[in-house]
Structure formats: structure tokens, C-alpha cells
């Protein structure tokens, strides 16, 4: 049956959800780019370039997702965009978290070096295989479908573990460094401290939700939900940034 012959009884309800999630993620990404250029007066440094690279790679991720939905015949360009944008998004996001650590542990070079080493080693292990297998799988090679399925989940699982570690370090060090200052400001200081912790918990909760979606194999919403999760987490970075600026 062609899609023009479908009736309301045969249409999968998830088919409407995927474009809606992608549209919300696209709106968040464009809004994030406006925030970046309106917020940063000095446009340099690892934090700025990583938080700029993340939404730019998100645009590629969204473009490839929309092409798979509405232009399935554009296999080669979709495969190329997807293979480069998704690993870049994961790497840029973890670099945002790493750059933010300098704000709470500027005097702990050993911790920063250890975290950077973890990011470099895991990226060197995951990114090349992820790009190769995803390009092959997106291009329609059936032999790559199962490896692509496995590599995608291993890569996202590795990204989640890195993020959990970075968030845990950030929360512990932020409490150690900022608690005396924030508590001295009374209710306002406590609210900022709670906000910092809730943002980290919220990011982890969204990652867990995405892992559940992947485990349930809800492929029709997986791409859109993943885009929405990363666009929301990047917007939450600005909540952290604004909280730190109010200190």
C-alpha cells in the first residue's frame, strides 16, 4: 500500500510524532544560536566554540533527519550529513561540559587533565567506528544495519557515562566552591544552588529517558526524541551560565 492509499486506520500514530519532535528541536536550535550571539561579547575560548559547534552540528542532524523522512531518495547526502553531524554533536556537547568545569575547579589541573584524557580516548574509540558504520547503515547497506544498531547504542551509552561523570564532578566541586558564597546570600543564594543541581539532574533524567526509548526500540520517535533531548540540554546550559553570572 502506498502512503497515498493509507487511511486513518492504517497510519501509525508515531509517524506524526517524529516530525513534531524534530520541529520543536529545530526551533530550540535556532533560538539557541540567537542566545549565543546575544550573550557572548568575547567570542573565543573552548566554551564558546564548543557551545557554538553543538547547535551547528544539530542543524546537520536535523537536516539529515528531515531528509530521511521527506526525501528518502537522497540516500548519499543524507548518509554523509548524518555520519558527520551526530558524532560531532556528541563530542561538542561533552566539550561544553568539560569547558564548564574550569569555572568550578580552576586550581585542580590533575582532574581537568584526567577528564580531558577520558574525552579524547573515548572519542578516538567511538567516533571513527560510529561515522563509518552509520554512513554505511544510513546508505541502505543491509549488512551494516545490525552493526549500526549496536554501535549507535554503544556510542550513546558511552556519551551518557561521560556526561554522568562530568555532571557528578561538577556538582561536587560546585557545592565545595560555591556553597559558602551562595549561603551567605541567603534565600537567593540557596535558590541558585538548587537551580544548578536541578539542571544537572534534569539532563541526566533526559538521557535516561532516551536510553529507555532506545531499549524499547521505538525507532519512529527515537531520532526526533534524541534531537529534542540535545536541544533542551543545550538550552539548559544557558540556565547554568545565567546562574553562575548571578553569583
> What does the pLDDT look like over 170-188, one tens digit per residue?
888 877 877 776 667 667 7
Report the CATH architecture of 14-245: Up-down Bundle (1.20)
pLDDT, position 138? 62
* pLDDT for residue 54: 92
Q: Which tens digits make up the pLDDT trace of 65-91?
A: 888 878 777 777 887 888 888 888 888
Mean pLDDT (the chain) is 80
Question: What pLDDT sits at residue 246?
Answer: 61
Q: Which of 17-21, 106-110, 163-167, 224-228 has the lowest mean pLDDT?
A: 106-110
Grid-cell match 548518509, residue found: 79
Q: At residue 189, does pLDDT exceed 80?
A: no
- Tell me, what's the pLDDT at 9? 42
Please give the pLDDT value at position 27.
93
Q: Is residue 15 very low, low, confident or very high in pLDDT (cuts 50, 70, 90)?
A: low
- Decide which of 115 and 149 is more confident: 115
Query: How far is Cα of residue 183 from the mean position of the Cα atoms in its chain?
Result: 32
Give CA–CA dist 119/202, Å, rounded: 22
Backbone angles phi, psi at 102, to 5 degrees: -60, -20
Q: Provide, rounded to the nearest whole percent, the portion of the chain with pLDDT above 90.
A: 12
pLDDT classification of 137: cutoffs 50, 70, 90: low
What are the extents of the domains in the chain? 14-245
Across the chain, the runs of DSSP E, i.e. the strands, are none
Confidence of residue 117 (pLDDT cuts 50, 70, 90): very high
Q: Tell me if 41 sits within 8 A of 92, measured CB to CB.
A: no
229 with 67: CB under 8 angstroms?
Answer: no
What mean pLDDT do residues 146-150 have? 73
216 to each of 144, 201, 220, 230, how far by Cα in Å? 21, 23, 11, 19
The answer on pLDDT for 13 being more than 60 is no
Which pTM value belongs to this model? 0.81
Q: What is the pLDDT of residue 86?
A: 84
Amino acid at each position: 500500500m502506498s502512503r497515498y492509499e493509507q487511511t486513518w486506520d492504517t497510519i501509525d500514530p508515531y509517524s506524526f510524532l517524529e516530525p513534531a519532535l524534530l520541529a520543536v528541536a529545530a526551533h530550540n536550535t535556532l533560538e539557541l544560536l540567537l542566545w549565543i550571539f546575544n550573550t557572548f561579547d568575547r567570542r573565543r575560548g573552548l566554551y564558546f566554540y564548543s557551545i557554538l559547534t553543538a547547535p551547528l552540528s544539530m542543524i546537520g542532524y536535523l537536516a539529515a533527519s528531515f531528509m530521511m523522512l521527506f526525501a528518502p531518495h537522497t540516500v548519499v547526502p543524507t548518509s554523509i550529513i548524518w555520519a558527520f553531524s551526530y558524532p560531532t554533536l556528541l563530542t561538542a556537547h561533552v566539550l561544553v561540559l568539560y569547558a564548564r568545569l574550569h569555572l568550578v575547579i580552576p586550581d585542580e589541573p590533575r582532574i581537568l587533565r584526567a577528564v580531558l584524557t577520558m574525552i579524547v580516548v573515548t572519542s578516538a574509540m567511538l567516533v571513527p567506528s560510529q561515522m563509518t558504520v552509520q554512513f554505511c547503515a544510513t546508505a541502505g547497506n543491509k549488512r551494516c544495519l545490525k552493526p549500526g544498531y549496536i554501535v549507535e547504542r554503544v556510542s550513546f551509552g558511552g556519551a551518557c557515562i561521560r556526561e554522568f561523570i562530568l555532571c557528578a564532578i561538577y556538582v561536587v566541586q560546585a557545592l565545595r566552591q560555591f556553597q559558602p558564597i551562595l549561603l551567605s546570600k541567603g534565600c537567593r543564594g540557596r535558590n541558585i544552588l538548587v537551580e544548578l543541581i536541578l539542571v544537572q539532574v534534569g539532563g541526566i533524567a533526559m538521557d535516561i529517558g532516551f536510553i529507555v526509548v532506545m531499549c524499547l526500540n521505538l525507532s519512529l520517535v527515537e531520532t526526533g526524541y534524541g534531537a529534542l533531548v540535545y536541544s533542551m540540554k543545550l538550552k539548559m546550559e544557558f540556565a547554568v551560565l545565567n546562574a553562575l553570572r548571578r553569583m
